[in-house]
Structure 1
């Protein structure tokens, strides 16, 4: 396997970065399959998947686009890059509906529900998952319908587990869902997919049974999961979950094969080793805490302190990323709240982002902005002597400039309402552009001076110039070309 991956990477680089011919559907499928490996669930994989997506888009290969969009959204969500995840999710939902790939549409709703329950809006996540269930009957293929059901059950389980509501019976709900998941998973015919779904179900089943202190039944499902792990593979996210579940059983059920703190510690350490290799930070953080507790019981306080510190460091890192990602995405996430109960026959092409824009139009007086835009369209720009002095001194978008200079939190979405294609054009040039990059580009588009940007962002002029330089690199703007003219033509 180790020799195969570098070879596949070499093929990828030759095909996608050096070939002058258009990539074929077969090539896209082949490379996509290779990139689905857990080892590419990272920045490296994201870059290659995104490049591959645009190759598929260029040749109009919808099935390839849909498959790639799923993985891109999964990775971006795991990085708490929710703004970018929602943008790609918008394409995924639209494309899967138009292609009548309802299995993929239900999964897109599952990914959307994940963002809601990460924001602790469990009722909204439940509504999104209920919407996904309404499309199950439209999936004609029995195997695909089973797979879609298992995905919905998985996200329903996590929504209940995180909400812990209702308190009196949520553990029973967890067990009920995990049993439904297991019963559906064992019917899947494809060996690899069945192994994955059964392993998922047994991991969740063991967790549910431990909460209910039904340890002997937990052992039964742990053994089933162990068999499926041989088919699916240990060095995977589910492998981490399995060894954590095994450690939990050994820690809580001392009669299981002479279980002890040492045996549970061995299982946790195996889970940590795989988790660290895969960058599975959320789970690794939990495992550090469990290991620290075992060392406390063993009275090894030095190692307890070490693992508590490791857990704390990861907690801070994860929390900062999640809080930042959720605060940025909330305006887009909740703007579409009213449409969450749509049925399959209603507004199939209504997209998340467009709904957000429609609502923002009402809130911020977008009508006026729209007509101003019609009347005062910026004319093509002529000459500029210095980037420090913007191209046009009189700007018709005074409202946007006012919001920008106040560093108003509504500026970004208001700007996108006035320039709806702006972010998409930038992402087409460089899919790795961040929300902060696009916002900075918006300032340049509005012809704001370096000093103005520095004052409103409370940073130095030098820092602004540095940011301009990095934006040039990301967008491929040559040093000879004036940045303001470049953005005026975008």
Structure 2
């Protein structure tokens, strides 16, 4: 009888364990399904739906102890929050995702991409560049070739946008070219959304420098590729094409493209883009003398802006409730873990300290005191040296901005090997060319150089091109980066 009871207990235990495993597997499957829906919503540019699916996946992922699922959940939450402009919350969730990422290279690269975009939007361009470059180092660790290439293309696209924002057109074009080269080697079914954006960006670069025929070619390529894959988001392409016609003072064509962009927004439902496009359309109507239509679009803009504000308040209240609930649970869990670890640690430290005090009364020797004093003096001297260097650099920059004739004298005092290094490469360098190189080395933008030298930006760009020929700098290399390298 006892044998039968023991066998029954063992059988029930096995069934219970199997049931728990099946339940856990079901939870993991549910999480993966919700994350797939969230990712698809992100691809189709629906951040609210993406956020909702990701938040629904939190509890089952926790219940199953699914660490990779938790990392993906927090990443998708962070990405959706970024797309809605909630940068602070987005940053917090990148950190939460990182805790669960377990050194997963793809996840870490995704998180650096979000942080880089946040920094760029906040004007922290150096931090943004560091994040994008860090992301590239993670991407190199990804084994799957197609995925590695696609993520590298996204990183180059982000760097191109960043350098465009910081008035570094050479670097912007270089990384956009790298982006296109990679995308052309990837299966179009994976890369088409990024390729559409890049083709539109190339078109924009062309119309800015008044290469209108080339700009139209790239805008049309972007539109045809979107139609081929039934990609719904074309408002950005139509908007830039409208801006091109506006730049050419072809107001009718500009208005036609703005209206196409608005029609596209009707399909995608991206209300956030409406106000800018409605205002552009309103301005076009005013230029054409149609004040009635202009006023109508202006009113629509105000109405939709009000609706957006109302929807933002409503959705924010709901999202904040869900996020606050999750954050409180996280805080409670961390607090418990913190106490469990901290209390025994404090007791150990107290006991060990008491034992040390009882056994030895530690005294600093004269030599140790002298070393501390010497170290302090060295630190003070280094601090003073840094201050002097900063003051000297600030003085040189100020002289450059004033186009003061003493600028090159002070510059050569601060960087004595600079001119010699350039003359070693080309002894025929003119003083004006050395002056231009010094300004570029000090990270002056094309516009800033034009302002200093009282020249047009086109003239400065032509002088830069001449420098490339004299110094043998390849067109794919940023001149500022090249100058920094020869000084190292």
TM range (shorter): 0.5 to 0.7
1:32 Cα deviation after fit: 3.4
**Counterpart in 2 of 1:241?**
236
Instruction: Tell me how far apart the structure 1 counterparts of residues 292 and 171 of structure 2 sit (CA, whole Å).
Output: 40
Work out whether 1:206 is the aligned partner of 2:203.
yes
Q: Please give the residue correspondences for 1:46-85 in structure 2 after superposition, counting only pairs within 5 Å.
A: 46-85=51-90
Number of the residue aligned with 1:37: 41
1:270 aligned to 237, 256, 260, which one? 260
Deviations 1:132-165 (A, max 9, x none): 223232222221221111221232233234x3x3
Secondary structure of 2:155 counterpart: helix
Question: Which digits, 9 at most, give the CA deviation of each residue in 1:308-362, with x for residues without a partner?
Answer: 45556777978xx89xx9xxxxxxxxxxxxxxxxxxxxxxxxxxx99xx9xxxxx
Distance 2:239 2:33 in 1: 33
Pair 1:101–1:276, CA change in 2 (3 A): farther
- TM value normalised by structure 2: 0.52
Pairing 1:147–2:137 present: no
Q: Distance in 2 between matches of 1:53 and 1:152?
A: 28
User: Displaced runs of 4+ in structure 1, greater than 6 A?
Assistant: 312-318
| Compared CA separation, residues 285 and 208, structure 1 to 2 (3 A) | farther
Deviation per CA, 1:93-123: give whole Å up to 9, x if none: 3333x1x431221121111112212222222
Q: Counterparts of 1:307 and 1:44 in 2: how far apart (Å)?
A: 29
Q: What does residue 337 of structure 2 align with?
A: none
8 Å Cα contact 2:35-2:53 kept in structure 1: no
Deviation for aligned residue 1:305: 3.5
Query: Which of 166, 177, 180 is matched with 1:179 structurally?
Result: 177
How many angstroms apart in 2 are the aligned matches of 1:71 and 1:29?
A: 12
Secondary structure of the structure 2 residue equivalent to 1:213 = coil
Provide the residue aligned with 2:92 in structure 1: 87
Contact conserved, 2:242 with 2:253, CA < 8 A, in 1?
yes
Distance 2:245 2:298 in 1: 21
Q: Is the 8 A contact 1:250 1:261 kept in 2?
A: yes
1:160 matches 2:150: no
1:140 partner SS: coil
1:229 offset after TM fit, Å? 0.4
**Structure-2 residue corresponding to 1:334:** none
SS at 1:37's partner residue? helix
Distance 2:114 2:294 in 1: 36
8 Å contact from structure 2 (residues 47, 81) kept in 1: no
C-alpha distance in structure 2 between counterparts of 1:187 and 1:140, whole Å: 17
Q: In the TM superposition, what whole-angstrom CA distance separates every residue of 1:226-269 from its partner, at most 9, and x where no partner exists?
A: 23202443423xx2222323433454468xxxxx5444433322
- 1:287 is displaced (CA, Å) by 1.6
Residue by residue, what CA displacement relative to the aligned partner does 1:199-243 show, whole Å, maximum 9, x if unpaired?
12112111222212222221222232123202443423xx22223
Q: What is the DSSP-based 3-state SS (H/G/I as helix, E as strand, rest coil) of the residue aligned with 2:57?
A: helix
Task: Determine which structure has the larger helix proportion and give its number.
Answer: 2
Residue in structure 1 matching 2:121, options 103, 118, 121: 118
The RMSD of aligned alpha carbons is: 3.8
Distance 1:119 1:41, change over 3 A: same
Structure 2 residue 290 is matched with structure 1 residue 285: no
Distance in 1 of aligned mates of 2:76 and 2:54: 8
* Aligned counterparts of 2:48 and 2:256: Cα–Cα separation in 1: 30
| Cα distance in 2 between the residues matched to 1:185 and 1:296 | 41
Alpha-carbon distance in structure 2 between the residues aligned to 1:176 and 1:314:
39
TM-score by length of 1: 0.52
In 2, Cα distance between the equivalents of 1:172 and 1:313? 41
Tell me, yes or no, if the aligned pair for 1:171 and 1:211 is still in contact at 8 Å: no
State the SS of the aligned residue for 1:80: coil
The gaps in structure 1 that reach 5 residues or longer are 1-19, 255-259, 326-352, 358-369, 376-490
Kindly state the Cα deviation for residue 197 of structure 1 after the two structures are TM-superposed.
1.9
Question: Which residue in 1 is equivalent to 2:411?
Answer: none
Q: Note closer, same or farther for the CA distance 1:246–1:113 as it changes in structure 2 (3 Å cut).
A: same
Q: Can you list the C-alpha shifts for 1:157-195, whole angstroms capped at 9, x where unaligned?
A: 33234x3x34xxx34443333222111111112x33221
Which string of whole-angstrom CA distances, capped at 9 and with x for unpartnered residues, describes residues 383-421 of structure 1? xxxxxxxxxxxxxxxxxxxxxxxxxxxxxxxxxxxxxxx
8 A contact 2:27–2:63 mirrored in 1: no
Query: Is 1:132 aligned to 2:135, yes or no?
Result: yes
Separation (CA, whole Å) in 2 of partners of 1:157 and 1:219: 21
Show CA shifts across 1:74-95 (max 9, x none): 2111223333322221122333
Contact 1:276-1:284 within 8 A present in 2 as well: no
Aligned with 1:138: secondary structure? Answer: coil
* 1:427-483 CA-partner distances (Å, limit 9, x unpaired): xxxxxxxxxxxxxxxxxxxxxxxxxxxxxxxxxxxxxxxxxxxxxxxxxxxxxxxxx
